[in-house]
Amino acid sequence: MTIYLGPNRYGKAETRVVRVTRDGARHAVTDLNVSVALTGDFAGTHLTGDNTGLLTTDAQKNTVYAFAREHGIASAEAFALRLARHFTGHPSVSRARVEVEAYAWDRLGDHSFARRGQEVRTATAVREGDAEWLVCGLRDLVVANTTDSEFWGYDKDRYTTLPETRDRILATAVDARWRHLSAGDGTDWDASYDGTRQALLDAFTGTYSYSLQQTLYAMGRTALEKRPELAEVRLSLPNKHHFLVDLAPFGLDNPDEVYVAADRPYGLIEGTVLREGAPDAGPAWE
Amino acid sequence: MTIYLGPNRYGKAETRVVRVTRDGARHAVTDLNVSVALTGDFAGTHLTGDNTGLLTTDAQKNTVYAFAREHGIASAEAFALRLARHFTGHPSVSRARVEVEAYAWDRLGDHSFARRGQEVRTATAVREGDAEWLVCGLRDLVVANTTDSEFWGYDKDRYTTLPETRDRILATAVDARWRHLSAGDGTDWDASYDGTRQALLDAFTGTYSYSLQQTLYAMGRTALEKRPELAEVRLSLPNKHHFLVDLAPFGLDNPDEVYVAADRPYGLIEGTVLREGAPDAGPAWE
Amino acid sequence: MTIYLGPNRYGKAETRVVRVTRDGARHAVTDLNVSVALTGDFAGTHLTGDNTGLLTTDAQKNTVYAFAREHGIASAEAFALRLARHFTGHPSVSRARVEVEAYAWDRLGDHSFARRGQEVRTATAVREGDAEWLVCGLRDLVVANTTDSEFWGYDKDRYTTLPETRDRILATAVDARWRHLSAGDGTDWDASYDGTRQALLDAFTGTYSYSLQQTLYAMGRTALEKRPELAEVRLSLPNKHHFLVDLAPFGLDNPDEVYVAADRPYGLIEGTVLREGAPDAGPAWE
Amino acid sequence: MTIYLGPNRYGKAETRVVRVTRDGARHAVTDLNVSVALTGDFAGTHLTGDNTGLLTTDAQKNTVYAFAREHGIASAEAFALRLARHFTGHPSVSRARVEVEAYAWDRLGDHSFARRGQEVRTATAVREGDAEWLVCGLRDLVVANTTDSEFWGYDKDRYTTLPETRDRILATAVDARWRHLSAGDGTDWDASYDGTRQALLDAFTGTYSYSLQQTLYAMGRTALEKRPELAEVRLSLPNKHHFLVDLAPFGLDNPDEVYVAADRPYGLIEGTVLREGAPDAGPAWE
């Protein structure tokens, strides 16, 4: 019997770094959570405990802080790329994956801020050899349509009791990630993020929907149509069920007014929308 | 040895109700989490399992849904009061406490919404006999000042190593509750909430602070000054520490730029600010 | 209009301290989460930002670590008491409240352990002047009876639709706190904890129940009967509803076999059981 | 520009089912959380909202409950397999993935139980055509060694400040999944789970470690050595850092006694250990 080491990686996860830019009286805040994962020649560490060549996760954390000072944080995307390039410069490292979560703060004053608390913006840079990939995204953006959603025409098996509906609430917490055609430095990452976010919302809002799958595809397609810099969009959409309450036992009707917001179980719709001819994803999603 | 039953209460917690108002094409959404707690003559249920006089928590849940249909939800506050009045009408119930959490949604279109995701608005109505109390509030409003905060002059005991500072980040997650002078129906609850929230933010932003305690008191005082309908403000403010990173080992300075956002431990500052001559709080806070 | 500062306190929350005892090859682990809250003469800090007399929360944290070294941690209770006594020795402090959470680890070997993961044990010491109170407890102990639970005979109002039942699942997550008659140093805190926990479980298991309230009272009463060192027990018991699934649409019966474990809403039953003649609780529960 | 639909799946997530077996007075409880994801010919649903051929997630939920009654739940693994086989029988479904989480309950009496609260046991069955895969696992099993862990010999770059150590605490929360050579019905799933869990613990306990990577590999290797029914083990191990507290400012030494249990950041070590000649993983891990 032979047993062997397969794919592996390691790194420092969730380094929380806040950078304050103090240009005169008007400050700015960047608030990130950075996770690094390195792949490379680390068989010795696994097999014999020989740590030669190993870059400690503690040093990775230190690098995050030092780079925030040395280079600033132009954007989550640029920072992730810079770190990925740095770590692949280490001799033992063949691939670096740097995931960044960014928390938005709204301005209250010159040096005062409130955390927005809506979606979390994400940026993941992957570098291997000279190749780079960038996957951006957002999560926890909770949206709802109170009409223009139907659901009918589905299969009925022995266990199907759901009544068909011509009008329902459609609600979800958008978890979207989009792969860029290129990780090139010319992109205006903030504009790209804002534009993609808006495309997703426009599609959610504007789609007369016969299923959450249809809405998912419309969101991915719209993002690709509006943002030529994107190669692929992946969406994971929980169907946050809102059930109409039966008020008949209390002598009341319920003309699509009063709903239960359910926790579990929930439908979960996952899908990928791609641009034809897009370059290979490589290790971007791993 | 004699053992006896002391204070007790029961009710249905976390009934999630969403109400859609459909006035033509332009819809509105109210999204609440309602918790009821009833006090009264329930010794039999505890001592012998005799449930005579007990209003089931299931019926309490049903009442929440039915009232949303019968009466609508003018505001979290009005809804909490209406429910509290209803439940104290039950013969066995001497006191009702109804806590409501409200989740704000921003409009994306006529029938499309995004959950705001910032603070949660709260409203608690307590009724006992003919007396009523209303405690409103908010939680999870994360704010930060990047300057105008000092901390020095404190006691130094054997275990004190914290260096004094003339400039630090001051950040907290505001958890505030305010008791109204009256639960009277004439109040514009939305205006009162918006005004109190703004007063708290203004005080946080505008206070040159020598301690989070000082900021806390300023927040409570400002709310009472700006909102004559309030009797008392209670604040619980975690000091969300941001530690300046020591970059010297890497040959770098750190001129108040790069910080660690720490999770635990955290300072926790709790305090009450009152208006002189305010009526007694009774069971409002219990 | 006069506005004034009311009750207030502050301290370091959630200091995570792990102490390893290395008596030869066989080690032991104590794993605590310590929160301190101090009350006293801190008006200056609030009103003018004058921090004279203020013991920093950073020093409180340091004290937790230093005391773990200097004095060891005989038990969560003894450690909480020792810290409370220390902090009330500071001139500005009139009252100290020290809350400790303890996480149990099971032994896997001489120096290997697995976190048990069941309930969290709690101990809160309060000291004011020369008076001391100790409140111990546990939380998150999830238990269920699959029979010997009925629920009927309750009031039926317009909103009552719940059918009466002569057999149901009764499940809860026990959150219990018990006040000791004395915080005296002679108590065997581990034995007291184990005995009280067992009394609560025995009462839960052994009570033929007509309501969760009845079970709650039996649990409190049994703990007081079995543990003469206790003055009072407070219980907060969510009714973790298990609903029998209606399988009739699929041509199946369901003879009390298949249940939905629901998340929200849930009943919440809270109650206090006391020993007659027990000393006053003072600020023990605040 | 052409845009097209890529890989997609959908299903009902987190159906909570509790099954009580009542063989005379002595009951048993099975407590599961079941998530289904179906892949197949669902382009119409995405592209045009034509739901022909779609099996609703509501029906999937119903199937979970009905199967619990019709077939019982012999084990999480057997239940997952049975459901996967059922769903791939639906004409539109080419692949079914059924993930089950199982929560263990300890017996307190004939019909009384306490939730164990330690690790969660997982079982995932994937079926496509006639091929089946089974991935079992556990998560949230928190373990620690208080000695026999060194860490030194690693690379030192500009950002490396971590001192080498010859003795440290090694703690992690084990997240392990193991793929079976066959999903065949002959396996004693409970024995396989218990044996694999024990092998992981034995390797964690018994490995004198120079890195968490080495411990990870030892855990995977031991599981494969002890359990011939396994093809592959994947481990994700957060390094739950315990930092020795510097007590020198207080005039105290700290001979490996008092530690901070840190939350973030943490090292994250991920790796796969395989048996040579194991069959292809197919879609087992997707």
Predicted ipTM of the assembly = 0.96
Residue range of the domain that includes A48: 7-128
Where does the pLDDT of residue A82 fall: very low under 50, low under 70, confident under 90, or very high at 90 and above? very high
Residue A147 is assigned to a structural domain of this protein: yes
Best mutation site among A200, A208, A245, A264 for testing chain B: the one with the most B CBs within 10 Å? Answer: A245
Residue pair A51/D162 in contact (Cβ under 8 Å)? The answer is no
CB D22 within 8 A of CB C257: yes
Q: How many percent of chain D have pLDDT more than 70?
A: 100
C173 and C264, same domain (yes or no): yes
Provide the b/e sequence for C80-111 (b: ≥16 CB within 10 Å).
bbbbbebbbebebbebbbbbbbbbbbeebbeb
**Whether residue B148 is found in the same domain as residue B271:** yes
State whether B137 and B100 are in the same domain.
Answer: no
Mean pLDDT along residues B103-130 = 97
The H or E element containing residue B17 is: strand B15-23
Residue D87 lies in a domain: yes
Q: Is residue B1 part of a domain?
A: no
| Tokens linked to A273 | 């929308």
Of the candidates D129, D161, D176, which is a domain's last residue?
D129
Neighbours of chain C (3+ CB pairs under 8 A): A, B, D
Secondary structure of residue B271 in the 3-state scheme: strand
Indicate the average pLDDT of chain A.
Answer: 97
Torsion of CA C188, C189, C193, C195, to 10 degrees: 10
- Closest-approach residue (CA) in chain D for B252: D159
| One domain, residues B135 and B204 | yes
Enter the DSSP assignment of C82: H
| pLDDT: which is higher, D1 or A260 | A260
Measured between beta carbons, the chain A residues lying within 8 angstroms of B258 are: 17-19, 65, 68-69
Tally Cβ neighbours within 10 Å of residue B228: 9
Report how far residue A261's alpha carbon sits from residue D190's, in angstroms, rounded to the nearest whole number: 37
Let me know if B184 is exposed, middle or buried by CB neighbors in 10 A (0-12, 13-18, 19+).
exposed
**Pick from D105, D255, D52: which is nearest to C146 by CA?**
D105
Torsion of CA A195, A201, A204, A206, to 10 degrees: -80
Cα distances (Å, whole numbers) of residue D209 to C15, D170, D214, D272: 28, 9, 6, 18
**Least confident span in A37-51, B173-187, D65-79:** B173-187
Does position B186 have pLDDT exceeding 90, yes or no?
no
Query: How far apart (Å, rounded) are the C-alpha atoms in residues D217 and A43?
Result: 10
First to last CA, chain A: 29
Residue B4: strand, helix, or coil: strand
Query: Are A243 and A142 in a shared domain?
Result: yes
What is the tens place of the pLDDT at every residue in A58-68? 999 999 999 99
Direct distance between the N- and C-terminal alpha carbons of chain C, in angstroms, rounded to an integer:
29
In terms of CA atoms, which chain D residue is nearest residue B158?
A: D250
Contact B11, B22 (CB under 8 A): no
Q: Do residues D278 and A6 touch, judged by C-beta distance below 8 A?
A: no
A1·D225 Cβ contact <8 A = yes
Preceding amide of D265 cis, omega within 30: yes
Same domain, D125 and D184: no
D185 lies in the same domain as D256: yes
Residues D1 and A225: their CA atoms lie apart, in Å, by: 8
CA distance C186 to chain B (A): 22
Q: If we measure between CA atoms, which residue out of C63, C3, C4 comes closest to residue C38?
A: C63
**Residue A181's CATH number:** 3.10.270.10
Whether pLDDT at C265 is above 90: yes
Model confidence at B286, in pLDDT bands (50, 70, 90)?
very high
User: Of C94, C129, C164, which closes a domain?
Assistant: C129
Q: How many domains does chain B have?
A: 2
- B68 class by beta-carbon count within 10 Å (0-12 exposed, 13-18 middle, 19+ buried): buried
Using one digit for the tens of pLDDT, what is the confidence trace for D90-144? 999 999 999 999 999 999 999 999 999 999 999 999 999 999 999 999 999 999 9
The answer, yes or no, to whether residue D184 has pLDDT greater than 80, is no
CA B127 to the chain's CA centroid: 18
A185 pLDDT higher than 80: no
**Mean pLDDT, residues D212-232 taken together:** 98
Whether C4 and B273 have beta carbons less than 8 Å apart is answered as: yes
Same domain as A285, residue A270: yes
Residue C96 has pLDDT above 90, yes or no: yes
pLDDT at res. A229: 96
Give which of B145, B108, C95 is closest to A109, Cα–Cα: B145
Q: Are A14 and D265 in contact (CB under 8 A)?
A: yes
Query: Cβ–Cβ of D6/A271 closer than 8 Å?
Result: yes
| Active-site position among D57, D90, D226, D272 | D57
D50 and D35: one domain?
A: yes
Two structure tokens written together for B157:
């005991």
Q: To the nearest whole percent, how much of chain D has pLDDT over 90?
A: 98
Confidence tier at A235 by pLDDT (50, 70, 90): very high
Rounded Cα distance between B238 and B240, Å, is: 6
Tokens for B53, please give them.
């006089």
H-type helices in chain A, by residue range? Answer: 43-47, 57-70, 76-88, 189-206, 212-226
Mean pLDDT, residues A159-176: 98
Cα B260 to chain centroid distance, Å, stands at 28
CA distances from B36 to B46, B57, B63, B123 (A): 19, 8, 11, 12
Best to test chain C binding among A160, A242, A245, A264 (most C CBs inside 10 Å): A264
Distance separating alpha carbons of residues D149 and D237, to the nearest angstrom: 15
Three-state SS for A180?
Answer: strand
Residues of B designated catalytic:
12, 57, 241
E-strand spans in chain A? 3-13, 15-23, 26-40, 93-102, 105-109, 112-115, 120-128, 131-145, 170-180, 230-239, 242-244, 258-261, 266-275
Task: Check D12, D61, D86, D240 and give the catalytic one.
Answer: D12
Residues D232 and D275 in one domain: yes
| The pLDDT value given to residue B151 | 98
Q: Cα angle at A73 between A70 and A78, to 5 degrees?
A: 110
Is D90 part of a structural domain of the chain? yes
Quick one: tokens of C125? 């010491």
Q: What is the mean pLDDT of chain B?
A: 97
Q: What is the pLDDT of residue D154?
A: 98
Digit-coded pLDDT (tens) for C26-51: 999 999 999 999 999 999 999 999 99
Bridge partners of B19, per DSSP, are A258, B30
What is the least distance, in Å, from the CA of A248 to any CA of chain C? 11
The amino acid sitting at C235 is L
**Would you tell me how many other CB atoms lie within 10 Å of the CB of residue C256?**
15
C28: its two tokens? 């032991």
Do A111 and A186 reside in the same domain of the chain? Answer: no
Does B184 have pLDDT greater than 80?
Answer: no
B119 and B44, same domain (yes or no) = yes
Q: What is the rounded distance in angstroms from the CA atom of residue B50 to the CA atom of residue C233?
A: 22
Please report which confidence band the pLDDT of residue D186 belongs to, taking 50, 70 and 90 as the band edges.
Answer: confident
* Half-sphere exposure in the Cβ direction for A88 (13 Å, CA): 19
Instruction: Please identify which residue in the block is written with the tokens 């409180």.
Output: C60
Which pLDDT tens digit goes with each residue over B201-219? Answer: 999 999 999 999 999 999 9
What SS3 class is residue D65?
A: helix
CA distance B214 to A62: 34
Domain boundary among C129, C159, C183: C129
A161/C263 touch (CB, cutoff 8 Å), yes or no: no
Element holding B201 (H helix, E strand): helix B189-206
Query: Are D166 and D136 contacting, i.e. CB atoms less than 8 angstroms apart?
Result: no
Residues of B in contact with C153 (CB under 8 A): 50-52, 54
pLDDT tens for each residue of D243-281: 999 999 999 999 999 999 999 999 999 999 999 999 999
| DSSP 8-class letter at C274 | E
Nearest chain C residue to B224 by CA distance is: C3
| pLDDT (0 to 100) of residue D220 | 98
Q: B touches which chains (3+ CB pairs under 8 A)?
A: A, C, D
The whole-angstrom separation of Cα B285 and Cα B233 is 11
Contact assignment for B159 to C63 by CB distance below 8 Å: yes
What is the length of chain A?
A: 286
Which residue from D153, D224, D265 is facing A14, i.e. has the nearest CB? D265
Encoded tokens for C229:
């060192």
| Displacement of CA C198 from its chain's centroid (Å) | 15
Tell if the CB–CB gap between A204 and B112 is shorter than 8 Å.
yes
Q: Which of D198, D258, D259, D264 to mutate to test the interface with C (most CBs of C within 10 A)?
A: D258
Q: Where are the beta strands (DSSP E) in B116-162?
A: 120-128, 131-145
D27 touches C147 (CB < 8 A):
yes
Instruction: Determine whether the interchain pair D247/C146 forms a contact, defined as Cβ–Cβ distance below 8 Å.
Output: no
Residues of B in contact with D246 (CB under 8 A): none
pLDDT given for residue D23 in this prediction: 87
User: What is the average pLDDT across B227-247?
Assistant: 98
> Is B226 within the bounds of a domain?
yes
* Least Cα separation, residue C160 to chain D (angstroms): 26
Tell me what pLDDT residue A184 has: 77
Query: Across all residues in chain D, what is the average pLDDT?
Result: 97
- Answer whether residue A122 is part of any domain: yes
Mean pLDDT of C152-163: 97
Q: Phi/psi at C81 (nearest 5 deg)?
A: -65, -45
Mutate which of D33, D46, D161, D168 to disrupt the A interface (most A C-beta within 10 Å)? D46
Q: Which of A159, A249, A263 sits opposite C161 (nearest CB)?
A: A249
B65 vs A245: CB contact, 8 Å cut-off?
yes
Average pLDDT, chain C: 97
Q: Is residue D2 part of a domain?
A: no
Q: Does the residue A2 lie in any domain?
A: no
Question: Using one digit for the tens of pLDDT, what is the confidence trace for B14-68?
Answer: 999 999 999 899 999 999 999 999 999 999 999 999 999 999 999 999 999 999 9
